[in-house]
Structure 1
């Protein structure tokens, strides 16, 4: 997404995109640390850091955490003026009371109006909503806080089942660990799957986590003898180039289609059809980024069948054509090993002239 609104934001003297983490009393240390850890590990092909990460607070100085220590934050809200991305971790002691008014929501609204990308982790979504950034948009927060969120912000389209939601310039995520998923998603959106995968590898976390937070919501203990659908998902990932059916997947687990569909949704958080479509888009993106295969071959290997089908799905999911996506995240290649047919089957044009 190197050409989008977020990545056109303010950079430091070395051209790195600036990420500001807004810390408030009661902050969860894991959420503060994971932002620094993940964005701080993102590197270019030449090894140069891609982001500068800074912490800021409503006022410089000591900030209490929800543990038995505090952190010292040197910068105040003026740091938001210099940020291309602002991330708001949770503060459980304050978030579920309506956090309206005061300097923080106003500062976030001002940063957004200047063009910054704004994201929240866990109940940080309450602060984004109080700033007016989520009205009429889709958003998520920790499943245990969804009832209170819906009560306070009825104009937000709340989805309690997902790990994170991307609304372009505003993003929200579920509980603490979902902040990892969100940060990796933003890195992947900014610089491609290869960079995000390397960050995940260095941090020893999966580059993409299956399912949503629906799988973590308390539910009755499964009936004896129930089995997982994980083997079917693993098998499907090895055979994405095939025209897979729901019956094929259910047969891998020796289940009826009805039972398989119910258990799949419980474990993955989405239907088998939605999960399979997303995995095929993931595979197509990987092939576009990492190979010189013509687009019709990418479509075949990802299970779309034709370049036209891939083109339609990529436009629906990302708003760009395969050629535009490849140009953004892979770029032109020349010299030994370059495939002169690498543009075969590509189509021109992007939405609003920009890559995702």
Structure 2
């Protein structure tokens, strides 16, 4: 089902489900593109879905792709068709921003869901009854499934194939799509952890600059507070007021950012990076890095080395 779709989101289920073959050569899925009207404009070209919303009535699985940010609210007939399909027991999955359409039906209320990490905050504000999980690639609630960005939609489609037909068939579909059947880590490894804003001229501004220049040293709450000429209690309070986080949480993310840079741009060993970023030991580095980035330093380097 599509409406003002992000074209890549639509291509993913067509590519995955359309290529699936059973060991005897049979095609287990029939893929149809459906829309609320005959002509669906996108930002690139116009799509002419061969089927209307009535085709959803006998669908076993419905994939809801993303929509253009300028598309406006989902059409009422689309939402009603999805509610009717859910009442019949149809499996419904969304890719990327398609989670906004699925959530607008109310079907996700009380359930966990995900969407692209850049839209997670807006999603949480619009749908407070949904538990937003911005750190995962996809969420499987059984009948209702959601995925993060477009490539996570590929992960979700392969997951559904494996659920339907087993690992061997899914692995073959993954090879045809030139992708692993399972990716290590979650969406957290792709999130850019920006600095929390600090007002220009604030007492904290020079202190935070100094901290970033000395990340490789042993830094404690007392050390950082003394740099600002404050007690630890006053420093912690003002830090949270200015940045929305605690000094130690800010320090951890600053060290992870430094480690990410070194993993991407140098050949330094994990042990050396652990010292350079201020984690001390490689064991502590691996544990804290995975806690924030959602993957291991080795896997992060493999995925992002030379990609920026």
The TM-score with structure 2 as length reference comes to 0.67
* Corresponding residue SS for 2:162: helix
CA, structure 1 residues 128+224, in 2 after alignment: closer, same or farther (shift >3 Å)? Answer: closer
Query: Are residues 46 and 152 of structure 1, via their aligned partners in 2, closer, same or farther at CA, if it must alter by over 3 Å?
Result: same
2:21–2:27 Cα contact (<8 Å) kept: yes
The verdict on how the C-alpha distance between 1:268 and 1:72 changes in structure 2, with shifts beyond 3 A counting, is same
Q: Is 1:261 aligned to 2:292, yes or no?
A: no
Tell me how far apart the structure 1 counterparts of residues 263 and 9 of structure 2 sit (CA, whole Å): 33
- Counterpart in the other structure of 1:352: none
Q: Which residue of 2 aligns with 1:33?
A: 11
- Give the equivalent residue in structure 2 for 1:16: none
Deviation string, structure 1 residues 160-193 (Cα, Å, up to 9, x no partner): 0000000000000001111100000000111111
Structure 1 pair 174–225 and aligned structure 2 pair: CA distance change class (3 A): closer
User: Of the two, which has the highest radius of gyration?
Assistant: 2
Task: Find the partner of 1:92 among 58, 68, 87.
Answer: 68
Unaligned runs of 5+ in 2: 195-256, 265-273, 275-279, 300-308
1:222 counterpart SS class: helix
Partner deviation per Cα, 1:212-257 (whole Å, 9 max, x = no partner)? 11111112642488558xxxxxxxxxxxxxxxxxxxxx9xxx9432
C-alpha spacing 1:225/1:56, structure 2 compared with 1 (3 Å)? closer
> How far did residue 38 of structure 1 move?
0.3
Map 1:111-130 → 2, pairs under 5 A: 111-130=85-104
Name the residue aligned to 2:143: 169
Q: 4, 24, 27: which one pairs with 2:3? A: 24
- Residue 177 of structure 1 aligns to a residue whose secondary structure is helix
The total of aligned residue pairs comes to 223
Q: What is the root-mean-square deviation in Å for CA atoms of aligned residues? A: 2.5
Indicate if the aligned counterparts of 2:109 and 2:130 stay in contact, CA closer than 8 A: yes
- Whose helix fraction is larger, Structure 1's or Structure 2's? 2
After TM superposition, the structure 1 stretch with the greater mean CA deviation from structure 2, 69-78 or 177-186, is 69-78
Q: Where does the alignment leave 5 or more consecutive residues of structure 1 unmatched? A: 1-21, 229-249, 276-356
- For normalisation by structure 1, the TM-score amounts to 0.58
Aligned residue number for residue 344 of structure 1: none
Task: Give the C-alpha shift of residue 211 in structure 1.
Answer: 1.0
Q: 1:107 to 1:261 in 2, by over 3 A?
A: same
Taking the aligned partners of 1:201 and 1:124, their CA distance within structure 2 comes to: 26
